[in-house]
Amino acid sequence: MTDEVALERHRRRKYRVLPALGALAVVALGAGIAAGVGASSESERVARDFGSAWAKGDYGAMYRLLSPGARARFDIRAFQGAYENARRIATATALRDAVPEGERGGTVPLPVTVGTRVFGTVRGVVRLPLREGAVKWEPHLVFPGLRKGESLSRRTVPPKRAAILSVDSKTLAEGPAELRTSPLGGLASSVAGTVEKADDRAERLRLFARGFSGGTPVGATGLERIFEEQVAGRPGGVLLARGRVLARSQPRAAEPVRSTIDTRVQEAAVTALAGRLGGIAALDPRTGAVRALAGIAFSAPQPPGSTFKIVTTTAALEAKLVSVSDKFPVQSNAVIDGVELENANGELCGGTFKQSFAHSCNSVFGPLGVKVGSRRLVETAERFGWNAPPTLAGEKPSTLPAAEQIVSPLEIGSTAIGQFRTLATPLQMASVAQTIANGGVRMTPTAMAARRPRAVRVTSTGVAASLERLMLAVVAEGTGTSAAIPGIKVAGKTGTAELEDTRGAAGETRSGDPSNTDAWFTAYAPAGRPRIAVAVLLVRNGSGGATAAPAARTVLARALGK
């Protein structure tokens, strides 16, 4: 029988996925047997319990069924380690129910069917030696087909690594893992990333469990990391019991993977970054498809500064703590907990809430954040994607503390303006803009063209519409005018995040130092019928309006064909 035929038959059988413990796929006993259908000996009952625990990955329950002599020879760590090692060697993934075959001369044959990633379906019998209601365990009992004194091993060969394509069918990476190339040169490498040998033990173990050797190069950054499991293919080789072959398979290369990257937008992002330390991410507002990732777009979260005011405003509008027409005093700072929370460069700021948002008034948003409160602020941020598991492999999560860890009014006010311990990536801030552009519905970012995005309602269409009006004012008359594109309605928000204390040793202010601030800008266009959302971070590069907004304009204009 060929491997392909065996695999096809394997797929047609009913398997269930291993539990979270990742136990070796083994035969569990049928429900009728477990319920005590028919007579069985004490040895059969023990074998049944041993098999059921094995199927659940309950090594503790298995160990308790061992004889005193076996437990004296093997402690629980060695016992569990033997099974987990066999699982990794065999690349085990799935199981099918069966029943023991009855006691025979002090042993109970337990049929075992193992579904594997690499070797197809492996079937055999584990003969459990029992005495006085206990298993006289030996290491060869970890896998079907092993004889006493034998251990499990394998030899595998990786397939050729698959190509990665852009959404417009251009090759971003191709060739063997050791030498990936692209006809697009530097443009492709800016997003494709690198392939390297894993230097992390946990990563090498995961690689080994997939059937590769621990020294196989894997995707380390960029799309190579994101699509590692899709482009690596399936190794082939032989599974061995000492020198005997238990199973064999042929390497199978994966098909080329089409990403959502638009090379025109990616080129604009690289141009806009201009070699500066920072990151740019661009998304399709309707689908969450990633159109560009440049620099540290999703790998190095930073304080988002005033771009986070989009989140604060969402929370305040939902709680009806503010309206667009509310008026605030014009002042240079707000005093919270006896500390002056200054506007950028100590500027006077205030007026209507629309004007306060457009000019990014800390003197308004700090006290507003205190009114919103840490619980509502954190809950709203988490709806936007903070503190969530990464959506792309290699992505570092955007985080902020739990509500009970944001205690004082000053901490709450600082969080509301994107400081304190709030961190975000450009990809996260692009997702915030995408959410507002999409009427309050967040589309989980995806980089694979064939993958259907997940939609999450973050806020109401009414709140999203109010935020759009506020973000339009930022570009039309506020801090983001350098992002304006003639004939295009651009909705955006600037951010200037301070990185160190701006007070000197003698208490004098040191604000305005461009090397002490990250520059941010997040936006989408055209408002009303959005086609692109973007976020820009420039590390230690001045103010968002002066440096990040022009960079965002470059990406927006290229995506819109301007």
pLDDT in tens, 88-97: 999 998 766 5
Neighbours of 60 (CB within 10 A): 11
pLDDT, tens digit, 9 for 90 and up, residues 111-123: 888 999 999 999 9
User: Helix crossing, 309-318 with 426-437: angle to 10°?
Assistant: 40
Checking if the pLDDT of 504 tops 60, the result is no
**DSSP letter string, 492-504:** EEEEEEE-S--B-
**Position 135 confidence tier, pLDDT thresholds 50, 70, 90:** very high
- Residue 548: DSSP 8-state: I
- Measured distance CA(64)–CA(528) in Å, rounded: 65
Cα separations in angstroms, 317 against 75, 246, 325, 330, 438: 60, 65, 12, 21, 17
Structure token digits, residue 345: 């460069």
What would the CATH number be for the domain defined by 3-150?
3.10.450.100
Contact criterion met (CB below 8 Å) for 533 and 432: no
Radius of gyration for the alpha carbons in the chain, expressed in angstroms and rounded: 30
- Measured distance CA(385)–CA(378) in Å, rounded: 11
Q: Are strands 257-258 and 164-165 parallel, antiparallel or unpaired?
A: parallel
- Residue 143: DSSP 8-state: S
Check residue 1 and give its pLDDT. Answer: 40
User: Which of 232, 235, 236, 233 has its CA nearest to residue 224?
Assistant: 232
pLDDT, tens digit, 9 for 90 and up, residues 409-450: 999 999 999 999 999 999 999 999 999 999 999 999 999 998
Contact criterion met (CB below 8 Å) for 301 and 398: yes
Instruction: Tell me, letter by letter, the H, E, C secondary structure of 365-383.
Output: HHHHHHHHCHHHHHHHHHH
Contact criterion met (CB below 8 Å) for 273 and 534: no
Checking if the pLDDT of 148 tops 80, the result is yes
pTM: 0.84
Checking if the pLDDT of 30 tops 60, the result is no
Q: What is the dihedral of CA 146, 149, 152, 154, to 10 degrees?
A: -110
Question: In the chain, where are the structural domains located?
Answer: 3-150, 164-258, 263-559
What's the mean pLDDT in 455-471? 98
**Position 198 confidence tier, pLDDT thresholds 50, 70, 90:** confident
> Which H or E run contains 352?
strand 349-352
Its CATH class, for the domain covering 164-258, is: alpha beta
Contact criterion met (CB below 8 Å) for 165 and 256: yes
Domain 263-559 has CATH 2.170.150.70: no
Structure token digits, residue 189: 């490498």
